[in-house]
Amino acid sequence: MEKLLPVRLLPAFKDYLWGGTKLKESYNKKSDLDIVAESWELSCHKDGQSVIAEGEFCGKTLSEYIDINGFELLGTKAREFDYFPLLIKFIDAKNNLSIQVHPNDEYALSVEGEYGKTEMWYILEADEGAYLYYGFNRSITKDELEKRIRENTILEVLNKVSVKKGDVFFIESGTVHAICAGIVICEIQQNSNTTYRVYDYDRRDKEGNPRQLHIEKAIEVSNLEKAPEISEKAADGVLAECKYFTVKKLEVNGKASELLDKTSFASVIVVDGSGKMSIGRKSFELKKGDSLFVPAQEAELEFEGELEVIISRV
């Protein structure tokens, strides 16, 4: 059936003040924005939707495409979610992002009217000496957290982690965190845009106003225990696996394949190299930065070339 063919996606772009130009320069992103901090590669979120790039449904949002062709395109596991479950981004941090935290489902649904946000990061690029913040370097109390936020000393108790290309971080909701300067990542997350900003280096927005902090909410939802050690990932290509998503990395040096089934759609993101992807008799040329949505079905994706892809499912 025609609707079972993969569709190529165009992203929604965000020009947050900390962003750079690497997504346009190195990941084939076409945008009139001077700064492209984020490209939302797979998104049905109201704050920025992916758009079908070609074919019968060219120009329609991913949400419109799903409405036309039926929710069954998402697979049987999608029935566990009230709406499209994933949001996948490229993020170019030329400068530090704010120190922030995301709530869990229970808190976010009751306070914000949308699900919480558990996410994972795959490091695509990292400048020499690049680092990020991941949780606390020791356990603290709510009182200490509030005091340090208000006195601008929170960086002293954050867990600072050096990063390199290929590193993986699983950021469970409630984990205080920040991507810092000189890092490009692919982020796979719950379909949520709820972020509580804890600390922002006293930066100002385009109008010269301090960027809003969400101190009370952040204190309510933050995990105050010492951050766990970053564990080595399994060698079978699985980067992350939780109740919200499973993420695999497929390195193609010549030929490789990935089996699909009816439990979930697949997102295919090309993070390096070039080649092609085939399903049945249909082939798609692939280059760095490409994003494709593959409807749930019993099939085999076949890859050829020299490339690295991230495959995400629910």
How far is 84 from 78, CA to CA, in rounded Å? 7
Burial class (CB in 10 A: 0-12, 13-18, 19+), 180: buried
The total number of residues written for the chain in this structure: 314
Burial class (CB in 10 A: 0-12, 13-18, 19+), 69: middle
AA identity, residue 285: E
**Active site residue: 197, 203, 211, 281, which one?**
197
Q: What single DSSP character describes residue 265?
A: -
Give backbone dihedrals phi and psi of 53, rounded to 5 degrees, phi first: -90, -25
Is the dihedral angle over the CA atoms 182, 17, 170, 160 positive or is it negative? positive
Active site annotation includes 197 = yes
DSSP string, 79-92: GGSSS--EEEEEEE
DSSP string, 115-154: ----EEEEEEEE-TT-EEEEEESS---HHHHHHHHHTT-G
How far is 217 from 105, CA to CA, in rounded Å? 14
Is the dihedral angle over the CA atoms 262, 264, 265, 270 positive or is it negative? negative
Report, as residue numbers or ranges, the catalytic residues: 197
